Amino acid sequence: MSYRPVEGHPGLVKNNQGIVLNTNKDEIAAARARKAARKAKEKELDELKNDVSELKDMMKQILEKL
C-alpha cells in the first residue's frame, strides 16, 4: 500500500483509498492516554452512581423499618 503526505500537515498521510492516517507516534500515544483517562473517569463516575443508588436503597429499607 502506498502513502502520500497530506499537504500542510506533517505527520499525516493518505493511503490509496483516501483514508488519512496519523504517523506521529507522540500524538498517537497522547490520544491513547487521553482516551484511557476519559474511560477511567467514566468508570469512576459509574461506580459513584452505583454507590449512591445502593445508599438510597439502604436508606429506604431503614426508613421502612422505623
Instruction: Provide mean pLDDT across the span 51-61.
Output: 98
CA atoms within 13 A on the CB side of 39: 6
Q: What is the CB-side half-sphere exposure of residue 7 using CA atoms within 13 A?
A: 0
- For all residues of the chain together, what is the average pLDDT? 95
Q: What cell numbers appear for 23 in the block?
A: 504517523
Q: If pLDDT is split at 50, 70 and 90, which confidence band does 3 have?
A: very high
pLDDT digits (tens, 9 = 90+) for 41-54: 999 999 999 999 99
Chain segment 12-22, per-residue pLDDT in tens: 999 999 999 99
Q: Do 16 and 9 form a contact (C-beta atoms < 8 A)? A: no
Query: What is the structure's pLDDT at 52?
Result: 98
- Domain ranges for the chain: 4-65
Distance CA 15, CA 32 (A): 22
